[in-house]
Amino acid sequence: MDKQNVIQRVRQLVQEMDEARFGGEQGAKFAQLRGYADGYMKAALEAGLLNQQELLNVVVGTRTATIAPAQQALQTAVNN
């Protein structure tokens, strides 16, 4: 498994988790997604596939891309 595949998988897991979280997913489904994402990220760190800064950059970038459009829509709705 190469670094780019790990980064892509982390992006996918974080996006799925955030979509579930902000999509109103409750209980077990969200907990399962979060646990899987956390476990995958921990394994990537422990295996030396990513360092902490690289992982943080991937997570922040993914969350920004996932959440920013919703925040902009909310801001537009509030201002109108």
CB 16, CB 33: distance < 8 Å = yes
Token pair 């909310």: residue: 74
Question: How many domains does the chain fold into?
Answer: 1
Burial class (CB in 10 A: 0-12, 13-18, 19+), 6: buried
Range of the domain at 53: 3-79
Distance CA 54, CA 58 (A): 6
DSSP state of 23: T
Q: How confident is residue 4, by pLDDT bands cut at 50, 70 and 90?
A: very high
pLDDT digits (tens, 9 = 90+) for 35-61: 999 999 999 999 999 999 999 999 999
Residue type, position 17, single letter: M
